[in-house]
Amino acid sequence: MKAIIQRVTSAKVTVGDEVVSSIGRGLCVLVGISADDNANDVEWIARKLLNLRLFDEPSTGKRWTESVIDQRLEILCVSQFTLYHRLKGNRPDFSRAMQGPEAQQLYGSLLKKLRDQYAPERVLDGRFGAMMQVHIQNDGPVTLEIESPVQSEQERQKLQRSLDHQAKSAGKNTGKPVESVERSVESNTK
């Protein structure tokens, strides 16, 4: 998972003439999801976004000391599949990006994690899959790129065991057959 993070004084997303979301001071984050991403990548990106020290300490002016949480600022996330491109000659190829429903679900889990770990009203987003216009007033300008680390096979297996356990528990609690829950979990981790 990759994120382009921009420190902003304001940002908004429009679709056509409709303003979908807008924030004041905080972070505007373009989020790309690769075909190999899973819940571990979501956890890593969420932790980084909430804890990056991109803001000055107000009373002392000391630079790069406070996070978005420290200053109770806003985050505007925008799904951006084009971050996982490669060029074939002069034409971009997006085959490394995760496709539609799976990407939307993983992107949704990132938003949920950010909202759960911070404040739901301070984490906004655009409209997944829409042709959006992103308007930003970059502050600094400050723009960073981060990407979750490649996971070892052992880490992937550990995540799969955890998801399998959750699926079995969910199957017992919901009365759904365990096999259908496991199939759902498998499709979400690929």
Q: What is the pLDDT of residues 99-127, one digit of tens each?
A: 999 999 999 999 999 999 999 999 999 99
- CATH number of the domain residue 87 falls in: 3.50.80.10
In a domain, 132, yes or no: yes
In a domain, 174, yes or no: no
Tell me which residues are annotated as active site. 80-82
**Contact present, 83 and 1 (Cβ < 8 Å):** no
Backbone phi, then psi, for 127, in 5-degree steps?
A: -125, 110
Q: What is the pLDDT of residues 24-81, one digit of tens each?
A: 999 999 999 999 999 999 999 999 999 999 999 999 999 999 999 999 999 999 999 9
In a domain, 182, yes or no: no
HSE (CB half, 13 Å, CA atoms) of 151? Answer: 21
In a domain, 178, yes or no: no
Q: Angle at CA 29, nearest 5°, toward 146 and 144? A: 40
In a domain, 122, yes or no: yes
In a domain, 114, yes or no: yes
What range does the domain containing 119 cover?
Answer: 2-169
Total structural domains within the chain: 1
166: which 2 tokens? 């959750």
In a domain, 75, yes or no: yes
pTM metric for this prediction: 0.82
**Contact present, 97 and 81 (Cβ < 8 Å):** yes
In a domain, 161, yes or no: yes
